[in-house]
Structure 1
Amino acid sequence: MLNLTDIEQAALRLQGHLLDTPCVESKTLSQLTGAQIYLKFENLQYTASFKERGACNKLAQLSDDERRRGVIAMSAGNHAQGVAYHAQRLGLRAVIVMPRFTPGVKIERTRGFGAEVVLHGDTLDESRAHALMLAEREGLVFVHPYDDEAIVAGQGTVGLEMLRAVPDLDTLVIAVGGGGLIAGMATAAKALKPDIEIIGVQTSRFPGMVNAIKGTHYPQGLSTIAEGIAVGTPGVIPQAIIAKLVDDLVLVDEGDIEQAMVMLLEIEKTLVEGAGAAGLAALLKYPERFAGKKVGLVLCGGNIDPLLLAAIIERGMVRAGRLARIKVSARDIPGSLAKITATVAGAGANIEEVHHQRAFTMLSAQNVEIELVIQTRGREHIAQVLATLSAAGFEASEQH
């Protein structure tokens, strides 16, 4: 089984080829959660995720013959970019097989690192089968995203760096997909500090590792905002390490992850993808579990489609009460709409959308229903806006 020496040797191979990313305390998140939180900014790596650590460690150890043949990987995201970038740096041929549904931004970035991108299959399993077939046919070395000791050792260097930066961490909270990151980090951290607690986080839509380790039978969903950890079949090598070294695994929901992403953006001014926010999501969902502890979180990736990010920010504003949808009933006479908008403005809210509805309503024919989307300062402000409309003679309510 992998040991601390393997990870220390990986760290030597990576020197000068990757960032030793900052690991710093977030005072605001600490106040909000009741734990002392330290963030490891792996979203600042050149390819915006920790995945290039494992890729770099693996590629650095290829024989001359393997280097001549080139490498192939299957990935819809961060592993693809890590392999492509470090293959380009080392002058190796790289073929990346991606599912057909992969966002265009990820395909173009991977091509930008000099890789040949092959789009094949609607699922990761179909893509993997095609990649293995191509590896066989063209004599390429298959670089697995997590089920490979060299990959796991590379990812474990995150743990070395965190404990070097903050030696007295009590707990590490780490996102789990195939398990490569947590397996490597647990190997390093438990060797350096045997009493450290290591908690893995999976999304409730992809609970493969939780089921494998705990013997549960949670159903698997079809999609998640945290596609970086949307792994159906856990890695064999990581699973054995997790069973031995990881203290617990917890599940978080989509809403927890969205909230964590918006908080990191607003409070820390840092952009993370869904998987990168899973650790903070666990602290938001189970605050009592981590209260008073020194907790290290890995912001493991920052690759997210801008349109998806826009939707998440907007939904976050709705949850916080900063965007609200209200329905106002009024008499259908000239000036009604103007009076409503003036009243809302007088209450200090800004109107984002107006929908004036005559036909699809149960009100009497002389009345009209007006739906407004408004920007407010929060829940209390929404209540003030509704009270002001009511005082002006309008029937108004918030729509959920």
Structure 2
Amino acid sequence: MSAGVTLCVVQETRLDTARIRAARRVIDPIFLDTPLYRCEALEPDLGCAVSIKLETANPVRSFKARGTEVIATQLADSDSRAVVCASAGNLGQALAWSGRGRGLDVTVVASRFAPVAKLDRIRALGARLELVDGDFDLARERAAALARNDGIRLVEDSLDIETCEGAATIGLELVDSAPSFDTVLIALGGGALATGVGQVVKTAAPGVEVICVQPLGAPAMTHSWRQRRVVTTDSTNTIADGVAGRCPIPEVLDDLLLVADDAVLVQEASIITGMRLLLQHAGLVVEPSAALGIAAILEDRDRFAGRHVVTIVCGSNVDVDAYRRWVGAAAHHGA
């Protein structure tokens, strides 16, 4: 897709630049203006200039609160103060945090197989937590049923435009403050982060390549992007639980098709190596989804050689025992 084509279609997405700028005014500043810095220590392993946008240094340790802050602000001004969402863990924490500060009644539906650390934090933040015996997409179905039955607001990550436009404020910070970068690598799950950041970057800096990264074990959105139609999968098999969806949302895919230049799939071993490199060279303990950008560079060094790449480190809610297992094994095998 050429930059010229992208420029003429980017405004047709569901996202709106004025609303994205307005979102900055209602998001708690604690989630804004996150660190962005060149990480030279990573560069010998990766063969290119790498800057990190660090979305973990906040009370919920992920970027998701940028979107839930917008939603919670709206709900606080409405008659209905009850809200439900399905979550792999990070959205639930963010909605619980944003809702608690505004007196909302928050219910989160999650898989009982979600990382215990994420579930514990959702409870600690005062949300009601309901667990399902299945994966994230089953949790989505249950959350929708609760919303229908109880007549309360359903927050659907990536479908609700506020989740995309909240995430898009990261893009504003990138284009406002970064030295010239030519590529941005974005974890791809439901698509809120990719469509939000992609929208802003393609509008403000159309020459920058927007590349989405997904695990081989959870490829539904990437296959959908490549085939320009929704492609679902029967199951997922990846340690990157935060991006492990099976059923892409058509409206989100439509947006992604307009703002993403490429979507790539990476192996589990590369994700683990990326986590280890971020620990060793940046002092960062991250969840697997946050290492997808590093994994993409590791798997295609020639593509990124000579470039200045920004990768968004999107979350650090990880089970400590699992993390030790993964990163320790990677170090042991010299991956």
Whether 1:110 and 2:125 are equivalent positions in the alignment is no
Whether 1:51 and 2:64 are equivalent positions in the alignment is yes
Q: How many residues align?
A: 320
Task: State the distance in 1 between where 2:78 and 2:176 align.
Answer: 37
Whether 1:124 and 2:136 are equivalent positions in the alignment is yes
Secondary structure (helix, strand or coil) at the match of 2:306 reads coil
Which runs of 5 or more residues in structure 2 are unaligned? Answer: 1-13
2:243 partner letter: I
Checking the alignment, whether the CA contact within 8 Å between 1:152 and 1:238 is kept in structure 2 is no
Whether 1:286 and 2:300 are equivalent positions in the alignment is yes
1:239 corresponds to which of 253, 260, 282: 253
Match of 2:327 in 1: 313
Match of 2:266 in 1: 252
Whether 1:303 and 2:305 are equivalent positions in the alignment is no
How do residues 91-106 of structure 1 correspond to structure 2 at under 5 angstroms?
91-106=103-118
Whether 1:36 and 2:49 are equivalent positions in the alignment is yes
How do residues 311-390 of structure 1 correspond to structure 2 at under 5 angstroms?
311-320=325-334
Checking the alignment, whether the CA contact within 8 Å between 1:71 and 1:95 is kept in structure 2 is yes
2:172 corresponds to which of 160, 184, 191: 160
- Cα distance per residue 1:334-390 (max 9 Å; x no partner): xxxxxxxxxxxxxxxxxxxxxxxxxxxxxxxxxxxxxxxxxxxxxxxxxxxxxxxxx
1:320 partner letter: G
Task: State the distance in 2 between where 1:30 and 1:102 align.
Answer: 33
Checking the alignment, whether the CA contact within 8 Å between 1:26 and 1:37 is kept in structure 2 is yes
Deviation at 1:17, TM superposition (A): 4.6
When residues 15 and 131 of structure 1 are mapped into structure 2, their CA distance, relative to the original with a 3 A threshold, is: closer
1:186 partner letter: G
Match of 1:367 in 2: none
Task: State the distance in 2 between where 1:120 and 1:142 align.
Answer: 17
Task: State the distance in 1 between where 2:77 and 2:311 align.
Answer: 38
Identity of aligned residues (%): 32
- Does 1 or 2 have the higher relative contact order (CA < 8 Å, sep 6+)? 2
Checking the alignment, whether the CA contact within 8 Å between 2:233 and 2:246 is kept in structure 1 is no
Q: TM-score, normalised by structure 1?
A: 0.76
Task: State the distance in 1 between where 2:86 and 2:28 align.
Answer: 26
When residues 222 and 208 of structure 1 are mapped into structure 2, their CA distance, relative to the original with a 3 A threshold, is: closer
1:138 partner letter: D
Match of 1:265 in 2: 279
Match of 1:82 in 2: 94
Checking the alignment, whether the CA contact within 8 Å between 1:163 and 1:169 is kept in structure 2 is no
Secondary structure (helix, strand or coil) at the match of 2:190 reads coil
- Cα distance per residue 1:140-179 (max 9 Å; x no partner): 2001121111110001111111222214111100010111
Secondary structure (helix, strand or coil) at the match of 2:107 reads strand
> What is the alpha-carbon root mean square deviation over aligned residues?
1.8
Larger Rg: 1
Which runs of 5 or more residues in structure 1 are unaligned? Answer: 322-400
Match of 1:22 in 2: 35
